[in-house]
Structure 1
């Protein structure tokens, strides 16, 4: 479980963001605070893995807080949430160690994609040895599901989300045929979307060998 601190000076926005985060499997909101001082105190108390951090706040802004967290070597990750779309601010955030930069307003689907990519990053780094391919894949996880990524021609966001949810709800890795039946789409459509989601980093592919010795593709979100 990824324990998350939600920081926003607007109480209403903080509550909405907290509800969004709580709906995403694997994430748990442990606290909501509304200024940098309270956020710093919460991090010092421990038990926080991720800070979903507003930038514009009274007193100290999100970037300044992020720099303080890094100087104090606190073991937390930061995802910035802000309406500031200036390139200079984005650059400063990246240099400060922000892993993701999410522009307000955003949708639940957009936030979920970011957080799921972050969760995959944590999983990928939970190993003792990495080769170059592993490192390239790790660095690509945060980019794989950016909300700004346009759906390629011939694909629909709604169908992709339907296929992803079918796989996510399955208790074990599923085949294209099983997804086809559950989603009520043709097998060829299921195959196309499964491959697309796997290449995008949202699904994990495993091979199973049947009685005939031919590998069967199975997909999961884990």
Structure 2
């Protein structure tokens, strides 16, 4: 069982993440903290395998906390879960050993994939003292997948979120559709859905239709281009 600690100053986000953890097999929540001082004490006390770490705190940052972990040579991996999407922060997080970086808001599916990917690597190295070239190569492959996610974050779009929206559009027979309808059906924020739809428009995968009513602005409806 992989023991997880959450370090997040927002009680609502802590509660959501803790419930997410309970839904994923192989993980157990061992501690929660809302500030960096308590986080240091609980990390030393509970010795978690994995830390879910926010960046923004009233006093200090999660990146400073991550540096402290490395300086103290504490054996704990970290996944950053934050609203911070600046390239410099992302690069610094990976530089200090973060195994993944999730930008809020994110879906449960993306959260689950991050933890399952971590578990695959964790299980691969459990109980061994030396590693074969094949094992190392498999570890590198996981790191390459993480780098792909980093690239997606830099662009402001997440590959898995994009795929989730596009897969639904392909499977959905009802056309045309609005961002509001899509948002409601897949359980994702409307502003997030609209951002991905606009990107798909630029790619030429979607067409935009304006439906004019008697009052107010025209309704934006999207339709998939048939050759995609």
Q: Same fold (TM over 0.5)?
A: yes
Q: Distance in 1 between matches of 2:125 and 2:68?
A: 24
Tell me how far 1:36 sits from its aligned partner: 1.0
Tell me how far 1:32 sits from its aligned partner: 1.5
Give the equivalent residue in structure 2 for 1:120.
120
Aligned residue-pair number: 156
Q: Distance in 1 between matches of 2:88 and 2:52?
A: 20
TM-score normalized with structure 2 length: 0.63
CA RMSD of aligned residues (A): 2.3
Give the equivalent residue in structure 2 for 1:15.
15
The DSSP-based 3-state class of the residue aligned with 2:44 is helix
Alignment of 1:50-129 (within 5 A): 50-126=50-126, 127-129=128-130
Indicate if the aligned counterparts of 1:8 and 1:53 stay in contact, CA closer than 8 A.
yes
Give the equivalent residue in structure 2 for 1:130.
131
Q: Distance in 1 between matches of 2:88 and 2:132?
A: 33
The DSSP-based 3-state class of the residue aligned with 2:159 is coil
Give the equivalent residue in structure 1 for 2:176.
none
Tell me how far 1:142 sits from its aligned partner: 4.8
2:156 paired with 1:148: no
Tell me how far 1:47 sits from its aligned partner: 3.5
Tell me how far 1:151 sits from its aligned partner: 4.7
Structure 1 112/142 Cα, relative in aligned 2: closer, same or farther at 3 Å?
Answer: farther
Give the equivalent residue in structure 1 for 2:226.
none
Structure 1 143/24 Cα, relative in aligned 2: closer, same or farther at 3 Å?
Answer: farther
Q: Encode CA deviations 1:7-38: one digit per residue, 9 max, x unaligned.
A: 11110111111100111100011121111111
Tell me how far 1:129 sits from its aligned partner: 3.1
The DSSP-based 3-state class of the residue aligned with 2:69 is helix
2:46 paired with 1:46: yes
Tell me how far 1:79 sits from its aligned partner: 0.7
Tell me how far 1:42 sits from its aligned partner: 0.4
Q: Encode CA deviations 1:113-162: one digit per residue, 9 max, x unaligned.
A: 0000000011111223322222121122255485625659xx958xxxxx
Give the equivalent residue in structure 1 for 2:196.
none
Tell me how far 1:97 sits from its aligned partner: 1.5
Give the equivalent residue in structure 2 for 1:4.
4
Indicate if the aligned counterparts of 1:121 and 1:142 stay in contact, CA closer than 8 A.
no
TM-score normalized with structure 1 length: 0.65
Q: Distance in 2 between matches of 1:151 and 1:108?
A: 14
Structure 1 96/144 Cα, relative in aligned 2: closer, same or farther at 3 Å?
Answer: closer
Q: List alignment gaps of at least 5 residues for structure 2.
A: 150-157, 169-228
The DSSP-based 3-state class of the residue aligned with 2:85 is coil
